[in-house]
Amino acid sequence: MGAMNFQSILDEIHAELRPRLGQGGQVARYIPALARVSPHQFGIALRTCAGEVAQAGDSAVPFSIQSMSKVFSLTLAIRAQGEALWQRIGREPSGSPFNSLVQLETERGIPRNPFINAGAIAVADRLVSLGDGKAELLALLARLCGETIGIDDEVARSEAETGFRNTALANFMKGFGTLDNDVATVLDVYFNQCAIAMSCEQMACAAGYLCRDGRHPLAGAPVLSEAQTRRVNALMLTCGTYDAAGEFAFRIGLPCKSGVGGGIVAVVPDQLTLCVWSPALDETGNSWLGRQALELFVAKTGLSVF
Ligand code: GLN
């Protein structure tokens, strides 16, 4: 592992895949501010447990992290609530699209996992109850990557204006008693967390506690306990890429979390965290090129949890 030259591996992946930009996938259309993002962008960055960094392409360009934020909101909620969190949120893969409403009815308002939209909205409700809204999330991310992190207000507005399905999910859960707080307040946290902007380099650093048994990527102090970190990684592997999670485990074999901004963060426990970004999505809402980049990374390095 020490002998691996990560910079040349990322350069190779970038050179091999860049010509495919524009050949597949589509940018997310249902959020107007995301529909305007150029699909001709591709970045990749990693940071090892030893602090070595490597990057290629548009790795310093901030993008909308969208559902990748769900890892960090879950981290805050687990930290504050521990086991009690699981009384309101399940841990099973959904096998359904990220914005699906169907299982909520049969499961009496308990979302299947924290990474589908319903689950993340339930986590946002917990954060509101704890007084930990968007400011706390931004503060966590800034501490994790040592840089100021902001929200793209245009994306946040666009989400709020067109978030009919998320509003439906929140109201439906409220009807079952899953949410304690006012629906509009909870959705405000959710829409804003999705609109956080970060680069691949920042994300690869911020997620670093997930490959370090929960220790802070820069300071070493615990962000989560070892056991809690294992659980977040397990949820990323089984639920982090929605109804493509089985295929991701099969082809890539790493805990991953994607977002409809086109980013995917992946964890190689005890070794490194990696972030890829390219805005065009496949039909499951995962980055079309990002997925290929992760497959190639695993093929070239042999790194996998299996
Ligand atoms: N903001 C998006 C939504 O709520 C997040 C979904 C995603 O990234 N998968 O629909």
User: How close is the Cα of 95 to the center of ligand 1, in Å?
Assistant: 16
Residue 242, annotated ligand binder?
A: yes
Q: What are phi and psi of 256, to 5 degrees?
A: -135, 150
Distance (Å, rounded) from C-alpha 254 to C-alpha 237? 6
Per-residue model confidence as pLDDT tens digits over 190-247: 999 999 999 999 999 999 999 999 999 888 789 999 999 999 999 999 999 989 999 9
Residue ranges around ligand 1 (CB below 6 Å): 66-67, 98-99, 117, 159, 166, 194, 259-260, 285
Is residue 68 a contact partner of residue 257, using CB atoms and an 8 Å limit?
Answer: yes
Region 129-148 average pLDDT: 93
**Residue 214, CB half-sphere, CA atoms under 13 Å: how many?**
15
Residue to substitute in 96, 159, 257 for testing ligand 1 pocket (most ligand atoms within 8 angstroms of CB): 159
Is residue 123 a contact partner of residue 77, using CB atoms and an 8 Å limit?
Answer: yes
Return the pLDDT at 80: 92
Residue 233, annotated ligand binder?
A: no
Q: Which atom of ligand 1 is nearest to the CA of 68?
A: 8
Angle between the 69-81 and 226-239 helix axes, to the nearest 10 degrees? 140
Angle between the 6-17 and 288-301 helix axes, to the nearest 10 degrees? 140
Distance (Å, rounded) from C-alpha 188 to C-alpha 135? 12
The residue whose two tokens read 């370090």 is: 212
Return the pLDDT at 98: 87
Is residue 194 a contact partner of residue 67, using CB atoms and an 8 Å limit?
Answer: yes
Domain borders along the chain are 6-301
CA distances from 263 to 184, 219, 233 (A): 27, 25, 17
User: How close is the Cα of 182 to the center of ligand 1, in Å?
Assistant: 20
Per-residue model confidence as pLDDT tens digits over 74-112: 999 999 999 999 999 999 998 888 888 888 988 899 999
Query: Following DSSP, what letter does each residue of 132-183 receive, concatenated?
Result: --HHHHHHHHHHHHTS--EE-HHHHHHHHHH-HHHHHHHHHHHHHT---S-H
pLDDT over 70 (residue 68)? yes
pLDDT over 80 (residue 132)? no
User: How close is the Cα of 208 to the center of ligand 1, in Å?
Assistant: 23
Identify residue 119 by its one-letter amino acid code.
Answer: G
Mapping DSSP to helix (H, G, I), strand (E, B) and coil, where does residue 231 land? Answer: helix
Question: Distance from CA of residue 11 to its chain's centroid?
Answer: 24
Write the class of the CATH domain 6-301.
alpha beta
Give the pairing of strands 53-57 and 272-277.
unpaired
